[in-house]
Amino acid sequence: MTYIPVKSMEDYCDMIRTLSGDDGEYSTSDYVEATIYSKNEAVVMVGDYSDLNPSLPVNHVSGWYKPWFYKYVEGFLSKGKHTELIPLREYLLRHNRAIFWVVESMIPFGNNPLFRLLFGWLLPPKPAFLKFTTTPDVRNFTFTKQVFQDIVLPIRKLEEQIEKSEELFDAYPLLVYPCRVYDRGDHSSQLKPPNKEYLVEGTNYAMYNDLGIYGVPGFVKRKEKYNPVSAMRSMEKFTRDVGGFSFLYADIFMTREEFEEMFDFTLYEVVRKKYGAEGAFPHLYDKVKPEIDVFEIGRQCEIK
């Protein structure tokens, strides 16, 4: 794994696109990602499968006593470029202990070396425990005072994504994971084919990226006015406008019509009708929409 610090939005966006193969010419690595710490500071990570190389250090990043991974990566902004080996399982679970960086808002001292040494083995909290302790008031707090979103967007719009995220949430770090979206023809899946302008030359796919936005928005930290509903609806509109998609494990703020504009339900509806699912099983929109009235919460936030 090689960590490359970059201190310019233009430079790190261009680097991510090049490393992910968006120009169709660069030989891509097995793993490419970036952690963006501010609009003009990011660490790009490039990883390839490797046998043990005695000349490279081995970093067991999942050790309970180790720094939280995003904090460790942030250090390379000042240290410079670095290459090391990480056991594959530990790399895949690299963000577990801090739940990316969400645990910091619950345990601000959680990355303290003494806390990690004595109590780091307690992390991360078990999801079952978190759900058990999530009262309606806690759920309302996480809904209105935090943001947890993964959004798939065209990588050629990366600069606009970051600008929009800062405008609406002002939440850093951000995660960027490149991925491919294939054009398999109209009505071939729930994901619409990528716009022709995004296709990598000579292929049937376009490079997209997952934009991960997690944590407490800067507006909330500064105790400024913040409406989570209008912010997320603006982000969802931007996503639809550029041909992107929301991850449906996260809260959605779209109406049924907007949801069906983002995704292609042609085959889905045909199959539901063919097998008599209508009236027997809820529609996908009804499965994933929040259990609380998001529009009422938005109105309340405007009044405050």
| Containing structural domain, residue 219 | 1-304
> Rounded to whole angstroms, how far apart are CA atoms 279 and 273?
10
Query: Which residues have a Cβ under 8 Å from the Cβ of 245 and sit 6 or more positions away?
Result: 151, 152, 191, 239, 262, 263
Residue 104 near residue 70, CB atoms below 8 Å? no
Spatial separation of the C-alpha atoms in residues 58 and 175, rounded to whole Å: 24
pLDDT in tens, 198-249: 999 999 999 999 999 999 999 999 999 999 999 999 999 999 999 999 999 9
Cis peptide before 154 (omega within 30 of 0): no
Task: At 187, list the tokens.
Answer: 């009505």
Q: How far apart are the C-alpha atoms of 242 and 160, rounded to whole Å?
A: 10
Given this model, what pLDDT does residue 37 score? 98
Q: What is the mean pLDDT of residues 296-304?
A: 72
Total tally of structural domains belonging to the chain: 1
Name the least confident of 106-110, 216-220, 269-273, 299-303.
299-303
Separation between Cα atoms, residue 58 and residue 87, nearest integer Å: 8
pLDDT value for 137: 65
Nearest 10 degrees: CA dihedral of 304, 213, 259, 182? Answer: 170
3-state secondary structure (DSSP) of residue 154: strand
Judged against a pLDDT cut of 70, whether residue 84 lies above it is answered with: yes
Tell me what the mean pLDDT of segment 65-76 comes to.
97
Cα–Cα distances in angstroms (integers) from residue 184 to residues 18, 44, 172, 199, 263, in the given order = 24, 30, 35, 12, 15
For the chain, the first-to-last Cα distance in angstroms comes to 47
Tell whether the model's pLDDT for residue 290 goes beyond 90: no
pTM equals 0.91
Torsion 79-85-91-97 (CA) sign: negative
**What's residue 105's pLDDT?**
85
Instruction: Write out pLDDT tens, residues 97-124.
Output: 999 998 898 889 999 999 999 999 988 8
